[in-house]
Structure 1
Amino acid sequence: MMEVRNLTFTYGKKTVNECKVLDDISFEIREGELIGLIGSSGSGKTTLIKHLNGLLKADSGDILFHGQSIYDKKYVLSKLRKEVGLVFQYPEQQLFKNTVLADVSFGPLNMGLSHEDAEKSAKESLELVGIDSDYYYVSPLELSGGQKRCVAIAGVLAMNPKILVMDEPAAGLDPGTRRSIYQLVERIKKERQIAVVLVSHHMEDVAEYADRVLVLHDHRLVRQGTVREIFNQIDYLKSIGIGVPQITDVTEKLRLSGFAIEHAAITVDEAEKMILEVLQKRKGERR
C-alpha cells in the first residue's frame, strides 16, 4: 500500500539548530498488517509517522502510496490525509464539539460528505469502537478517559482511512483500559481490513498484537522483521536502550540457567505452553 524510500529529514535545516532526525529510512506498509514501530525516546518515531500523511515533507527520498509519489506536484495531499488517518498521543485533547456525534462527524463533513452521509459514517465508527447510541448527543467532556479516547479514534475512522497510524494509543490509561484499547485496535484492523502502524513503548503490547516490527535507533531504521525475529535479539535491543517483553526476559534467563526451552517466549500464553510442556516431559521421564 505504501512504500517509504530512503527518507531523510532535518529539523532547522541550514540554521544553527540544524538536527537530522531521520536518516535514509526505507520500509513498506502492506495491506491488513499491524506494524509495531519501536525505539527509544528521541529516535524519530513521531517525526516519521508525520511524514506518512504529508504533515512533514522529507528533505530527500520518497513516499509512494498505491504506487504514486506523494511528492509529485499534482498529488493532492488532502486525499492522502483521508486515506492515511493519524491518531496522536492523547487524541481526546482534540475533542471540541458540543456532542459526541458532532465531533466524530466533523472530519467526514470537512471531506465534503453530506450531513446525512457524515452522520452515517460517524455512527458506524462509533459502533465499531463500542460507544453506545445513548452517548451520541452527550458532550465528549462528560465521558470517561477510555470513552474519550475511543471517540477520538472514531473521529479518524469516520473518514474511512486505508492506513491507520497511532502514536501511543493507550498512553496514560490504566492497564485494563489499555488492554481494551489494543483489543479495539485489533478489531478495527480485522473488521475494516486496514493496515495499522502502531507506535508504542509497551513491548508486551507490540509482541501480542503486531505482525511485524520496525526498530528505530539514532534516527535510522536498524531492524525490521517479525515479532519473534526482533524480540529474540534481546542483547541487541537492550544495547540500544529498548526493552523486551518482561516474559521474554524471564524465559531467556530460564533458558540460560538450563531450563529445557528452545528459545525465549514472546507472550505469556506462549511461555505458559512451553513451561508446561517441559514440566510434563519431566514428569513422564520420572515414571
Structure 2
Amino acid sequence: MISIPTHTLNDDTNLPALGLGTYPMSEGEAERAVSGALGLGYRLVDTATNYSNETGVGLGLTRSGVPREEVVVTTKLPGRHHGYEETLASFEDSRRRLGLEYVDLYLIHWPLPRLDRYVDSWRAMIKLREDGLVRSIGVSNFTAEHLERLEKETGVLPAVNQVELHPFFPQDELRAFHTAKGILTESWTPLGRGKGLLDDPAVIAVAEDLGVTPGQVVLRWHTQLGAVPIPKSSNPERQRQNLDVFGFELDPAQMTAVAERTHRRLGGDPEVHEEF
C-alpha cells in the first residue's frame, strides 16, 4: 500500500497530498472506485452534491473497511442551495447521503457572483465547523477577489480553494495569492481533461527520462507545486499509477518543460460560470 504525504491546513487539520476524484461516476461506479482506491492507500476522496454519487462514495468507504477517521471525505454545496439556511439544509442532505456523522472538508462549489449569496453560505459553513459537523471548510473556483471578500466580511479564510489547475492553466498568480494567505490549492482536471496533455512530446520526454508514465509526470508536477491533485479513475491499475508519484522528482528544467505551452482555461470562468 502506497503511503501519501500530508499538508497541514490553516485550521491545523491534515490533507493528503493527492486524492481520488469521482466526477462523473455513477453511484455504483463510485462505490467500487472508492472502495478499491482506499485499499490502495488513497485517503482523500472528493465528491459533490451535483455529482449525484454521494451515496456511492459513502458505501465505498464502508465497504473498504478502512477506519473512518483515516479518510478525508470532501463534498460541495451546489449553486441552487446558496444562502445561510439553504446551506445548512443542503449539508444535512449531503451528510445523510454519505452516511457520515461529520464531513472532513466542505466546499462552496462555485461562487456564482451574480446571485451574491456566497458570503451567506460561508457564514453557514463557519457555523457547521463550529458545531463540529465539518472539520474544515473551503471553496472551489473562487478568485482572489472572492476570497478577499470572505476574509473582509467574516474574518475567516478558507482552508482550501479547489480550482482548475493543470499545465495548460497553471494559475501562477492565484497560487501565489493562496500561499500568501495560507490557503491550500487543490487541482481539478489535473490531467487536462483529455485535451492532449498526456500526448505532448515534452511530457512524454520527461516520462521516458524518469521511467514513469506521462500521467505520473503531470501529477508529480502538481505535487511539487504544492498543489493537491484529485485525478478521477475507476480503473485499479490507473488508480495505483496515479497514487505512485512520491518516489521520484522533476528537476527545475523538467518542471518548466511540462508547463511550457500556451496557457488556456478548459472549464468555466468563475466570474460568469453558473452551475446550480
Same fold (TM over 0.5): no
Higher share in strand? 1
Higher alpha-carbon Rg? 1
